Amino acid sequence: MMIKDVIPGFELFKPKTVAEAVALVERYKKDAWKMAGGNDSIAWFKDRVKRPKQVIDLSGIAEMKGVKETPDGIEIGALATLTDIEKSPVIRKSYRLLSDAAGAVASPQIRNSGTVGGNVNQDARCWYYRAGLPCYRAGGTTCFSDTPEGQNREHAIFDAARCVAVTPSDLAPVMVALDAKMVIRHAKGERVVSAEEFFIGPRIDITKMTQVKDNELLVAIRIPKTFAGANFYFEKVTDRNAWDFPLVNVASALKTDAGGVVQECRVAVGGVACTPKRFAAVEDTVKGKKVDAALAKIAGEATGRGARPLNYNHFKVPLMANLVTRAVRDAKA
C-alpha cells in the first residue's frame, strides 16, 4: 500500500489517425498503454499499480468514432461512446440488445466518456488484483482470491485456471450473442475475429482479457445482420442500480419463424467466467422449438452443470439459471 495516489509520469502520445496509433503500438509494444475513455486507465495510474512508460491517448482519432450502416449490418468505431450506442437510432431499431446493455453500464457520466472499445477491453475487477497484489494476473505466483479465506463473492464459477476473475463487461456477452466481429489492426494489416474468440480466459493468457496483442489495436466492431430485429433480452444483476458491475448479466438473441419456432439462438452470460459464457445445452434445448415457460426453465437449469463455485459465490448458480430462463422466456422484439 504505502502510497496509492498521484499519477506517476509517462510519455503521452495523441495520435490523430489509426495509422499513427498502430505505428506507436508497434514501436512501444508492451511498454505502451492504450487509453480510450480513460475510466479504467486513470484509476490504475492513480493507484500507481500500472505504470506504463508510454500512454497512447486514442481519443483524438476521428476515424474510430461513430456508428455506420454497412451492407452486412453495422460497424461501430471502437471509440464510439456508450452513450452513442445507447442513443443510436439504428442500434435501437435493429440491435436493441446492444443499446439496452450500453445503457446499463455504470452511470451517465461514465457512459458519456466510456467507449465501446474500452468496455470490451476493460480489465478484471477482482479486488485483490485491483489492490495491486502480486497475483498471477499481475505477473505473480499466486491467486489471493481462491483461498479458504478469499472474499470471492464476485468471482468465477466456471473455467478457473489459476485466476478466478470474471469478465466485468456488459457489452461482452452482447457481442457474443450478436456474433460480432472484432476488427483488429496491426502494422502489417488487419485481422477480424469473432467475439467469442476475442475474449480469452487465463488458460490462453492470464494477463489479458482479450486477444488484442500489445502491438495491435481494436479499431471497430461489426455486427452482422444475422440477428437484426430478432427477439432480445438483456439483464444485468447488481447490488445497486447505478455504477455497479454485474454479479451476473445475460444477453440473448433468438430468431423465430412466423410460427414462433426458434431458428437461431445465442445466449451469453457474463460475470460467471473470465469470458462471456455460452451453453450448448441451453441453445440446443431451445433451437427448433417454440419457447414456453417450461422449456425456458429447462434451458436455465441446464447452465448449472459443471459450475464450480468458490466459498462465497454459489448464489450465482441459481441466479444464472434464472437469468437464462428469463433470457429465453422473456426475449422480445
Partner 1 sequence: MAYDLVGKNFIPHDMVAKVTGAAKYSEDFQAEGMLHAKLLLSPMPHARVRSIDTSAAMKIKGVVAIITPDDVPQFPPPADPILYKEATFAGAPLLAVAAESEAIAAQAIEAIKVDLEQLKHVVDPLDSLYPGGNNAFTGGNVANVRLPLQTIKWTAQDFQGFDQGKMPMGKPAEEWKYGDLDEGFKKAKVVVERSFLTAGTSHHSMEPRSAMAYWQNGKVYLHGSLQSQSFGIPPLARLCGVKPEDMVFIAEFCGGGFGSKGNPYPIMAVPAHLSKKANGRPVMMRITREEEYLLGSGRAGFQGWVKMGFAENGRMTAMDLYCVQDNGPNMGFWDFRNCGHSAMVVFQPEAMRFRGMSVLTNTPPRGPQRGPGENQTSMALEPIIDEAAKMLGMDKLAIRRINAPDNDGFDFEGQHMGKFTSAYLKDALDKGAEVFNWDAKKKLSGQRNGNKVSGVGIGQAFHAAGSNGFDGLIRIMPDGKLYVHSGVGNLGTYSYASTARVAAEVLGYKWENVVVVNGRSDKHLPWMIGQFGSNTAYTATRTNYVAAQDAKNKLLEIAAQALGGAAGDYDLKGERVVSKADPSKSMSFADAAKKAVELGGKFSGKELPGDINPLTRASATALAGTGLMGVAKDTLAKRGMVPGLCAGFCHVEVDVETGDVEIKEYVGVADCGTVLHPDGLQSQMHGGAIMGFGLALTERIVYDHALGLPANVGFDQAKPPTYLDMPKIFKWAAAEKPDRDNPVGVKGVGEPIQGAAAAAVINAISDALGGHYFHRTPVVRDMIVNALNKRPQSYRPLQANTM
**Contact between 131 and partner 1 (CB under 8 A)?**
yes
Interacting span for partner 1 (CB under 8 A) from 13-21, 26-34, 188-196, 240-248: 240-248
**Contact between 48 and partner 1 (CB under 8 A)?**
yes
Grid coordinates in use for 127? 479486488
Element (H, E) at 299: helix 293-301
Distance, CA of 330 to CA of 325 (rounded, Å): 8
Chain centroid offset of residue 61 CA = 22
For partner 1, the closer CB: 8 or 229? 8
Interacting span for partner 1 (CB under 8 A) from 6-14, 24-32, 76-84, 225-233: 6-14
Distance, CA of 157 to CA of 61 (rounded, Å): 39
Residues of span 308-327 touching partner 1 by CB under 8 A? 311-315, 318-319, 322-323, 325-326
Residue 310 burial (10 A CB sphere; 0-12, 13-18, 19+): buried
Q: Which of 71, 89, 139, 149 binds partner 1 (CB under 8 A)?
A: 149
Nearest-10 Cα torsion for 274, 72, 289, 316: 20
Q: Which of 54, 65, 113, 127 binds partner 1 (CB under 8 A)?
A: 127
Which residue from 124, 144, 105, 145 is spatially nearest to 209, judged by alpha carbons?
Answer: 124
For partner 1, the closer CB: 65 or 326? 326
Interacting span for partner 1 (CB under 8 A) from 63-71, 85-93, 127-135, 265-273: 127-135
- Compute the least distance from the CB of residue 184 to partner 1, in Å: 29
Distance, CA of 119 to CA of 65 (rounded, Å): 14
- Compute the least distance from the CB of residue 75 to partner 1, in Å: 32
**Contact between 63 and partner 1 (CB under 8 A)?**
no
**Contact between 1 and partner 1 (CB under 8 A)?**
yes
Residues 6+ apart with CB under 8 A from 105: 82, 111, 114, 119, 170, 171
Residues that bind partner 1 (CB under 8 A): 1-6, 8-9, 47-48, 107, 127-128, 131, 133, 144, 147-153, 235, 237, 239-245, 247, 311-315, 318-319, 322-323, 325-326
